[in-house]
Amino acid sequence: MPTHSRMKTSPVNLLKRSLKAANQWFRRTPERALDEAYDAALRIRSIEETHFNGQIISTESSEYGESVQAYFQAELKKYLNIIKIRLTEFRTSKSILEISNQINGRTSADLAGLDSSENWQDLDFVDQPAIYLEKLKFIDTVISPYTSTKSSSTSLVPFPDSLQEQTTLAEPAPQLSNSSKLQLMTSPTKNSKPSNSARASSSVDDVESLVDKTGVLPRSILKTVDRIKRELDPKAEEEVVENFRNSKARTIISLRIILLLITIPLLTQQLTKIVIVGPIVDRFRDNEQAAIFLNREMEEEALLELHLYEERLKFHALIGGADALSSEEMEEKLHQRAIEIQEVSRQASNDAIKNVFADIFSVAAFVILILNSKRELAVLKSFFDELVYGLSDSAKAFIIILLTDIFVGFHSPHGWEVLLEGISRHLGLPANRNFIFLFIATFPVILDTIFKYWIFRYLNRISPSAVATYRNMNE
């Protein structure tokens, strides 16, 4: 091995490179800690602009329910804790670096004259103070309304108790690139943001509203004033148009996926029955050897129909509507009618077998459509959420009572009986009365329990007034 390669891979050189890499990593600690605190501040600002119209994250907002408020409060607590920890790390590591530089006799000016091969990380310290200052100013602007007293970005006071009591699970926010950070820091955002003093005053108003719900002016008047301010905003028209376009696109997507969920399974069932399953069943099912009736119920129906035909012939002969038939003629007519009933029963049996396989294809098409339309289904869910929760309390109560009376009400057993008999006839299965009665005795009870649990667990939290209206209408 050459001498140069041995010297390059010697333990001493490896140790030097490791120490140099560790030194470089430690010198980047202040910047890394400040970047993470800055990212957390950006997350808070993004939540304010997206969900609170640029105002602070407050539990007094009437646009969201209790569950959504708990989620936002938990997110706020998480990001404030990140800012607090990372700023402490920034302050500590920066102090240690300053002491180390003083001991080594190096200043920022000295570091500026170093060769890049000696310590390329130290060159960044020439421009770091200005970047640090801008990021610290932005963090101060974001977190100042959420602290009890005005403080610098490096000494956060304890957070409010209301934030510490909220706990929930949330997905981590995506990381932002450095260019995105600088762009958000140096360029104005889409929505105009209030100044630091305005945010601080809104925080004070929020704390006062939490302590005392009754103010000098009703909150409806303040909301009206805020609405007027939003309407006078020069960008209000653009936002209205954009919201309308989004709502229109969501409605179109929702209606399209609803039509697809209905039409594709039906078309698949009919096409496969006519094109694929039908010819196969007709070819392999021998009409002479195959059983005419799939179950005893179909046979009883055929016998009943033949008996009614015979009674009808005798009745018409007795009342003089037709000439009296001899026994041979009666037997001939009954024989012809029996052949017709036989063909109809055989066709019904073939159709039942075709329906089984065609329904399997239909279910498979429905499942494939569900798996390939996750985004559309998410849009459909938001569309229904907005549609349902946008209804009045009386409309919500009316829909709940209508659904419960249809599926679990006093007259629902008759509907379930007709539905189950129709399904069994469609598939060629015998309508087992014991199974039908057992199903009616258990399944509507389970549905009723689910309805009551949903009303108690979710609707009671999201819309208590709708629950009160439902109880009054039900009584």
The answer to whether position 370 is within a domain reads yes
Residues in the chain: 475
Specify the pLDDT at position 126.
42
Mean pLDDT of 254-264: 94
- Cα–Cα distance measured from residue 250 to residue 392, given in angstroms and rounded to the nearest whole number: 22
- Residue where a domain stops, chosen among 180, 195, 210: 195
Specify the pLDDT at position 154.
36
The answer to whether position 203 is within a domain reads no
Q: Is the same domain home to 40 and 129?
A: yes
The answer to whether position 415 is within a domain reads yes
Radius of gyration of the chain (CA): 38
The answer to whether position 249 is within a domain reads no
Q: Is the same domain home to 130 and 279?
A: no
Instruction: Give per-residue pLDDT as tens, 108-137.
Output: 444 444 444 444 344 444 456 767 787 888
The answer to whether position 435 is within a domain reads yes
Q: Is the same domain home to 325 and 438?
A: no
Q: Is the same domain home to 361 and 436?
A: no
- Cα–Cα distance measured from residue 176 to residue 185, given in angstroms and rounded to the nearest whole number: 12
Is the CB of residue 272 less than 8 Å from the CB of residue 366? no
CA distances from 358 to 267, 278, 427 (A): 10, 9, 10
Mean pLDDT of 319-345: 81
- Cα–Cα distance measured from residue 387 to residue 68, given in angstroms and rounded to the nearest whole number: 18
The answer to whether position 246 is within a domain reads no
- Residue where a domain stops, chosen among 323, 352, 380: 380
Q: Is 288 helix (H, G, I), strand (E, B) or coil?
A: coil
Specify the pLDDT at position 361.
94
In 408-434, which positions are buried (b, 16+ CB within 10 angstroms) versus exposed (e)?
A: beeebbeebbeebeeebbeebeeeeee
6 vs 446, higher pLDDT: 446
Q: Per the structure, how many domains does the chain have?
A: 3
- Cα–Cα distance measured from residue 452 to residue 396, given in angstroms and rounded to the nearest whole number: 14
Q: How many CA atoms lie within 13 A of 285 on its CB side?
A: 19
Residue 107's domain comprises 3-195
Instruction: Give per-residue pLDDT as tens, 235-248.
Output: 777 887 888 888 89
Q: Is the same domain home to 396 and 376?
A: no
Q: Is the same domain home to 298 and 337?
A: yes
Specify the pLDDT at position 415.
87
Q: Is the same domain home to 259 and 324?
A: yes
Q: Is the same domain home to 319 and 341?
A: yes
Specify the amino acid at residue 291: A
* DSSP output for 37-98: HHHHHHHHHHHHHHHSTTS---TT-SSS-HHHHHHHHHHHHHHHHHHHHHHHHHHHHHHHHH
Closest CA to 134 of 77, 186, 95, 57: 186
Instruction: Give per-residue pLDDT as tens, 39-95.
Output: 888 888 888 888 887 788 887 765 777 777 888 888 888 889 899 898 888 888 888
- Residue where a domain stops, chosen among 195, 221, 244: 195
DSSP 391: S
Q: Is the same domain home to 424 and 464?
A: yes
Q: Exposed (0-12), middle (13-18) or buried (19+): which is 84, by Cβ within 10 Å?
A: buried
Q: Is the same domain home to 152 and 61?
A: yes
Specify the pLDDT at position 345.
85
Q: Is the same domain home to 153 and 282?
A: no
* DSSP output for 333-369: HHHHHHHHHHHHHHHHHHHHHHHHHHHHHHHHHHHHH
The answer to whether position 114 is within a domain reads yes
Closest CA to 272 of 370, 359, 369: 359
- Cα–Cα distance measured from residue 460 to residue 2, given in angstroms and rounded to the nearest whole number: 80
Q: Distance of alpha carbon 89 from its chain centroid, rounded?
A: 37
253 pLDDT above the threshold of 90: yes
The answer to whether position 445 is within a domain reads yes
Q: Is the same domain home to 124 and 263?
A: no
